Amino acid sequence: MKPRFFFAILLMAAIAAVLRGTTDEPTITQDELVRRTQEMMDAIVPGNQEPFKKYYADDVLYADEKGRTMDKQALLKDVEPMPKGYSGSIKVVKPQSHIENDVAILSYEMDETEVVFGQQLSARYHQIDTWMRHKGQWQIVATQVMRYYEDPAPGKADVSKFPGYAGTYELGERKTEVTFEGGHLYEQRGSTAKVELIPEGSDVFFRKGVEGRWLFGVGDEGKVVSVIDRRNNEDIVWKKVK
């Protein structure tokens, strides 16, 4: 091989490497993943789709906290400015990552604050994004979002009804006891600890940290005949036996 030809090949390889370096992204870091994620969170309130267009792959699989599975087109359509009178922010917290070769998995929580005509709301979410380096670019190819359960605010109830709720309720061979003590209702199954039934409203109760509601059923004679354990809009009915 002639020296001039050899040097020409080296020069072409060097130029190609430089050009490739201007488009290829190096191995990504957790800090950079968090920065990009926060950039997208900051774009939600104004409805700015650009960060989502940039960081989500065209063939992304996106599953949100509402049970929807969306492609990129549907995801972008879902990013729109908040209505007049609404404002808020989402902060990325508690990030964890696993980065290896061309794949990076980022797990994190989102603290959301929303203000609706002066009334402040809050929510917490957990999200996992799978990033892949494809054609030199790091993009998200899959996302899974879930919302943390939060107890509702306690409400007022007619305490004079509480003694009528007390009794033994049966579901097959299982039994649970509802007692009225010191102006409060409690539920106990077998030897487990008593759990307070906290009123959310009239005749509707919840247990702290447990998703679902308890409603007491009344028969034709006006007496309590059952308790409904409502879970995700599905009911399990316990019959009152004494």
Give the Cα separation of 72 and 12 in Å (integer).
38
Q: What's the alpha-carbon Rg for the chain, to the nearest Å?
A: 28
- CA–chain centroid gap for 226, Å, is 33
pLDDT tens for 79-114 read 999 999 999 999 999 999 999 999 999 999 999 999
pLDDT of residue 24: 67
Q: So what's the pLDDT on residue 51?
A: 98
List 110's β-bridge partners, or say none: 92, 125
Residue 200 near residue 155, CB atoms below 8 Å: yes
Cα(20)–Cα(54) distance, integer angstroms: 19
pLDDT tens track of the chain, all 242 residues?
454 543 444 344 444 444 444 456 788 999 999 999 999 999 999 999 999 999 999 999 999 999 999 999 999 999 999 999 999 999 999 999 999 999 999 999 999 999 999 999 999 999 999 999 988 999 999 999 999 988 989 998 899 999 999 999 999 989 999 999 999 999 999 889 999 999 998 789 999 999 899 999 998 888 999 999 998 889 999 999 98
For 118, the 3-state DSSP assignment is coil
b (16+ CB within 10 A) / e for 194-219: ebebbbbeebbbbbeeeebbbbbeee
* pLDDT confidence of residue 4: 52
